[in-house]
Amino acid sequence: MNTLKVLVSLLLVSSILCKGADVTCTSTTCGVPACGAAASGSWTQGSTAQVCAIDNCPASVASGLTGATDNFCTSCPGATNGSTKAVFANSAGTACVAAAYSCLNRVVATNKWTDADCAVCTPTTPKMKSDGSGCQAASGYLLIASLLSLIALLI
């Protein structure tokens, strides 16, 4: 009976605390600054000498993180949204999100976001600007602002 309790306890701990996936950092010395901040756990050697991984991924990375980075989210990804993996940190660093491109390191000229990317990367500005340069407030607010501007011009 005691053996069974120990086995069940080990299974629970291993399901809650698991090593993250391998990521390539800027050096083979795992840690900050090479891998970026670890929002939870710490960086450790990965499966080979050239990669690193988070030693204990949290049970959930959908919210409540502090200082999450893309490397952290790649090592401890969140839930998949369709075919998009949640391997990017949102702009606030509080969650791992399923965006088409990095919320923190996007190259605007080549990596075009959509409204869906804005909604997960910058929830307070969930709509993509028409020129693709960034995110903006929802259209209801913009419509009201446009109407007020038009009224001001007519007066």
DSSP state, residue 49: T
Which helix H or strand E contains 55, and what residues bound it?
none
Q: Please report the pLDDT score of residue 4 as a whole number.
A: 44
Q: What is the pTM of this model?
A: 0.76
The residue ranges of every structural domain in the chain are 20-154
Instruction: Say which residues have a Cβ less than 8 Å from residue 77's Cβ, sequence separation at least 6.
Output: 21, 61, 85, 86, 87, 96
Q: Please report the pLDDT score of residue 13 as a whole number.
A: 40
Tell me the mean pLDDT per 10 residues along the chain, length 155: 44 59 94 95 94 96 96 96 94 96 87 91 93 82 53 60
